[in-house]
Structure 1
Amino acid sequence: MKRRLLINILLLAVGFIQSAALYADHGTFRFAQITDIHFSPNNPNPTEDLLRTVAQINATDSIDFVLVTGDIAEEGDRATMLKVKETLDLLKVKYYIILGNHETKWSDSGCTAFEEIFGGERFEFEHKGILFLGFNSGPLMRMANGHVVPQDIRWMTERMNLFNTGNSQLNKPVILVTHYPLIEGDVDNWYEVTDAVRPYNIRLFIGGHYHRNRDLRYDGIPGILMRSNLRDKDGKPGYGIYDITQDSILVYTQRIGEPKQQWASFSLTKQYYDHNGKAEKYPDFSVNKEYPNAKEQWIVQTGAGIYCSPAVEKNKVFVGDDMGVLTCYALKNGKKLWSFQSGKRIVGTPAVAEGIVVFGSADRNIYGLNSKDGSLLWTVKAGEPVLGAVTIENGIAYIGASDHTLRAIDVRTGKVIWTYNGVKGYIETKPLVTADKVIFGAWDNTLYALNKSDGKELWKWTGGLTRMHFSPAAVWPVAANGKVLITDPQRAMTAINLENGETVWRTFQSIVRETIGLSEDGEQVYSKTMNDSIVCYATKGDKPRELWASNVGFGYEHAPSMQVEKDGVMFGSTKEGLIFALEPKTGKVLWKHKIGNSLISTVVPLNARQVLFTATSGEVGLLTIDN
């Protein structure tokens, strides 16, 4: 008995030694982290802060490389990112960089400039036995929670499988690098990411975003958020230092001109989480049991991020995606009929009329396709990426681009009828086409009104907005009773005189943001508040008049998905996968249905009982409501 016990103890000891050897099969090294740099053309301080950081890193011994974890440019523009690169290139060691939300939400290139400047949206490298994977955590072009797209989750698991080739236990150490923390409220599909990476030996997530040091757990997996590089209340810029030893990861904050201060440490041998477990929490889908009459007639998991709404013509549905593919699905059952590959991601919602699908791509082209088979009919080249949604009226397509231009194009021939290039910012909105005007906003604090026939400027409205981030650029304007109605990120709803661009009224009463929708009779306008409710205002009169407010219970909300009324039902959607319907005259909730947990773009109702939808997480589907 004693001999058997001794043998068992020896076997356990050998197993422990072998396991520890596997975990410690790496060299010791040191690296730095710089995050939340926020270069701005209007503020020299971030530039000075980064220059001081680069100089100190260059003067520090034994820094093997630097991780740069997003929010490098306040406005996400190409010119500022080029300046960041010039500064980072002064580093004597190699650096690896990912995007933050300031590069993904506000981007005149649809995030393509980042890839062109820095070589990619992800990074992968192995250093002394540890694999580092960095990837985008969104949100891309739409105000919402962060999101890791399906293709990036696949990429992570593929790279970790390759890293562990020949090792069935998948226990070679991996460090994952994001901007956002992988927790509820920050990344909408945190649970998908943690479940996907859990089988592997994830030693640490490294990120930023909060501008302060945080030691977190992502479903048990250790996660570090480092302070911003921006100077703190004492006027000191700062960054992170990581020492990798044989058995530990030691985490330090390094302020300029001071000794580094350790504030966290992690074991390289301890098991922090159950590799065979699941996320500690998942989204709540119980609302679907409360409203069982709303059902998914069909749903397609495309496997790619989607940032635009669907377009529909007769029996076909058209959707663009993050991979630059415009796909046609059968309206009846979601069957894929054809697809067309553009050069880069599609951000703006397409439009279709007269058998021709029109859409823009970040590859700097506007395309016209045959809706029957996807064959290319024509191409219009733009000077910069084309991120705008398309409006077609009477055979003319109206679409804006990042080359400061709005174009009117004959959909049959691809001939450009007119251009307006007086825009200072980039355009992502869907133009409003009225009887004689084209109205749209841009990321330059301005709403523009042009003559529909020749593109001549009629008026511009700025409403006293002073920050680019307050621009009426994501909202799709509506018009009724002699007014253009918009909402903006300053949390106001505004009515503007349609003829002269003068402000009729502006209210902050309801704390709305970037959504608006018009009733079918033009008498009411709808918007989402930033907490739980839909509000309804009258379009008549020279003062704001709220008609009703309805608590839909969707929580904190800031996604730019518009409200749409169809056949006596008002439809809406949220950043956390909810689609809902209200009675237009009273605001009574008719039904709610949760698709997933990511942004649902502006839905497309076919009638009172059928509504098409797309989701950032890659779903396209048709929801049907039974009586």
Structure 2
Amino acid sequence: MKKTLISIICLVCAILPMSAQDFTFALLTDTHISKHNPAPAEDLNKVVTEINNNPKIEFVIVSGDLSEEGDFTSLSQAKAILAKLNKPYYAVLGNHETKWTESGMTDFGKIFGSERVKFEHKGFLFLGFNTGPLLRMADGHVVPQDISWLEKELSEAPINQPTFLITHYPLLKGDVDNWYDVTNAVRKYNIKSFLGGHYHSNRFFQYDGIPGIISRSTLRDKDNNPGYTLINVVNDSLYVSEKKINQAPIQWKSLSLTEKYYTKESGNDIYPDFSVNNEYPLVKKIWMNKSGVGIYSSPALYKKNIYVGDDMGYLSAYRIKDGKKLWQFKAEHRILGTPEADNNVVVFGAADKHIYGLNANNGKLLWKIKANAPVLGAVTIHNNIAFIGASDGVFRAIDILSGNIVWQYNQVKGYVETKPLVTDNKVIFGAWDNTLYALNEQTGEVEWLWTGDIKGMHFSPAAVWPVAAHGKVFITDPKRAMTAISLQSGETIWRTNQSMVRETIGLSEDNQRIYSKTMNDSVVCYSAETDIPEHLWSTDVGFGYEHAPSMPIEKEGVLYGSTKNGLMFALNSTTGQIIWKHKVGNSLINTLVPLDKNRVLFTATGGEIGLLEYKNK
């Protein structure tokens, strides 16, 4: 009886006018503090000063992209400015903290206290969480463990408690790949609105029917005015106003706090289309595990097992035959780089600033090496030496049997995420400093450095996994160009923007062709032999806009590829003819690992791990 009475009271409080609960808060977003540009800091300081002079503002929400490059210096500067506020503030991450993150996103939590936000104010619950993407260029994504956290917090809150959800990205198709997972998880609760940014403008959306308020950036506008958003909760309504510095607020939206804008049932949005699977019915899942944790690394194949790192810091071994989990090892923070195994040792780096060597049979720790910053790079093992880059400016060569460092090169100017290429006694890798490095495999001494006159950190050849053939190293980069570089000298042989490719490259097994995904629908093939860019074929795969750094991989005459929205495909590597397509979920599929011409292993940021087979007989 007592519980029923409490439930009735909570329901009544949710629908009655809330004049006793009136309050005002500020929504700031997209501050983009940069160590290279003082203007964003000047704008944010002006906003903070004005907020401090307004006693009606009771707290401040900052909805992501606090920094331009996600680096420690810029995030610390943002924190120092926000610390001047004379009222509480709460911050969530934006894509500039997650895509470009030298720390593997660990700096944000250290500086601001957490990657999530939870607080209550005058009967309202506020929950904030990350919308990604983490390190890889892709759509935004809410990892499974954050959705589980969100559901837990909402289910444990008082019945029908009015709630605001704080994200950076709008929960829209094209912005967040699994928006529907979030909206379906929260729609049975009393969500008043999402609050966010990203678009640098005042917008109102409905995410599957749930209201979504998007704020302008604090950066000065075309009239040189910094600004922010004021939100007033008055009686039974919510009023949203733009506030430019030293100007009166201008209301641009209002919402009822008693009207129900959506139902508990599934919304009306157009959900992802899986009909492509009906077009290619010969493709079957041999097995698929849902880990419940985001995965940003490809599986490492060794003998009869694969090894997968995840966002919670687990390195797990699975049996290829049936997907059975064999063992699990816990690092102290997330694993983002792809591991590799050889000679019964599996090697990986983690954001906890360590490189690990484990027994590949049972997961027992053999050795670990401490770096001076998170280790985000993928591993390449060659002749029992593991090559891996970190975020401390050091690239290491490690004997996998002893765990001893063979050599280290400490002049890398940016953080490393790529998988190194070992060829012709050279180790070749890119970093987020506009540079492609070629080091001597035996000594670690510089053979050459290539920059290609690329300006701006964001255009670095850092996510692509280089390949080499016929005396040339091939890369693609965010400038949407494909480049052939002399393996011997590091000089540019050719560079072309013809196909609008980005951060993906693959090499045929016979070393005659190179492959890449374009940024819209197509896969292209060029000659690896010629000293000019010779285009051989293009295939319209129909995957739409695409910018995920998942590499095309050839096996037994079949070219395998994957996309940011859950699609995998197989092409005839000689002609480009489509063999099959298959969609698993709607999130980024990491670089695939083919077993043969009919079977391919995959992992996805949605937490899926699996094996597909094309049964063409």
Fold match, TM over 0.5? Answer: yes
Shift in alpha-carbon separation, 1:143–1:18, aligned structure 2, 3 A = closer
Q: What's 1:156 paired with?
A: 150
| Structure 1 position 27, deviation (Å) | 1.2
CA distance in 2, matches of 1:116, 1:19: 38
For 1:473, the aligned partner's letter is: A
| Structure 1 position 542, deviation (Å) | 1.7
Q: What's 2:242 paired with?
A: 253
Alignment of 1:505 with 2:494, yes or no, is: yes
Q: What's 1:293 paired with?
A: 282
| Structure 1 position 541, deviation (Å) | 1.9
For 2:51, the aligned partner's letter is: I
Alignment of 1:370 with 2:359, yes or no, is: yes
Alignment counterpart, residue 380 of structure 1, candidates 364, 369, 379: 369
Map 1:90-489; keep pairs closer than 5 Å: 90-164=84-158, 167=159, 171-489=160-478
**Native 8 Å contact 2:61 2:91 kept in 1:** yes
3-state SS in 2 of match to 1:607:
coil
3-state SS in 1 of match to 2:211:
strand
CA distance in 1, matches of 2:166, 2:214: 10
Q: What's 1:23 paired with?
A: 15
TM-score of the aligned structures, taking structure 2 as reference length? 0.97
Identity %: 59
CA deviations 1:454-501 (Å, max 9, x no partner) are 000010000010110000000000000000000000000000000010
CA distance in 2, matches of 1:452, 1:18: 68
For 1:201, the aligned partner's letter is: N
| Structure 1 position 317, deviation (Å) | 1.1
Q: What's 2:550 paired with?
A: 561
**Native 8 Å contact 2:425 2:440 kept in 1:** yes
Alignment of 1:56 with 2:58, yes or no, is: no
For 2:14, the aligned partner's letter is: L
Shift in alpha-carbon separation, 1:137–1:577, aligned structure 2, 3 A = same
What count of residue pairs does the alignment treat as equivalent?
Answer: 608
Structure 2 gap segments, 5+ residues each:
1-6
CA deviations 1:122-159 (Å, max 9, x no partner) are 01001100000000000000000000011111111111
Compute the RMSD of aligned alpha carbons.
1.2
| Structure 1 position 20, deviation (Å) | 5.0
**Native 8 Å contact 2:35 2:73 kept in 1:** no
Shift in alpha-carbon separation, 1:18–1:450, aligned structure 2, 3 A = closer
**Native 8 Å contact 2:10 2:161 kept in 1:** no
CA distance in 2, matches of 1:161, 1:281: 27
**Native 8 Å contact 1:389 1:399 kept in 2:** yes
CA deviations 1:20-76 (Å, max 9, x no partner) are 533346711110011001111221110100000000000112111100011111111
CA distance in 2, matches of 1:199, 1:421: 53
Map 1:565-584; keep pairs closer than 5 Å: 565-584=554-573
**Native 8 Å contact 1:492 1:511 kept in 2:** yes
Alignment of 1:604 with 2:598, yes or no, is: no
CA deviations 1:495-531 (Å, max 9, x no partner) are 0000010000000000001000000011100000000
Q: What's 2:4 paired with?
A: none
For 1:23, the aligned partner's letter is: I
For 1:87, the aligned partner's letter is: I
CA distance in 2, matches of 1:575, 1:279: 23
| Structure 1 position 312, deviation (Å) | 1.4
For 1:104, the aligned partner's letter is: T
Structure 1 gap segments, 5+ residues each:
1-14
Q: What's 1:490 paired with?
A: 479
**Native 8 Å contact 2:141 2:177 kept in 1:** yes
3-state SS in 2 of match to 1:620:
strand
**Native 8 Å contact 2:564 2:589 kept in 1:** yes
CA distance in 2, matches of 1:318, 1:244: 51
For 1:152, the aligned partner's letter is: D
TM-score of the aligned structures, taking structure 1 as reference length? 0.96
3-state SS in 1 of match to 2:21:
coil
| Structure 1 position 279, deviation (Å) | 4.9
CA deviations 1:396-430 (Å, max 9, x no partner) are 10000000111000000100000011110000000
For 1:114, the aligned partner's letter is: F
**Native 8 Å contact 1:23 1:172 kept in 2:** no
For 2:31, the aligned partner's letter is: I
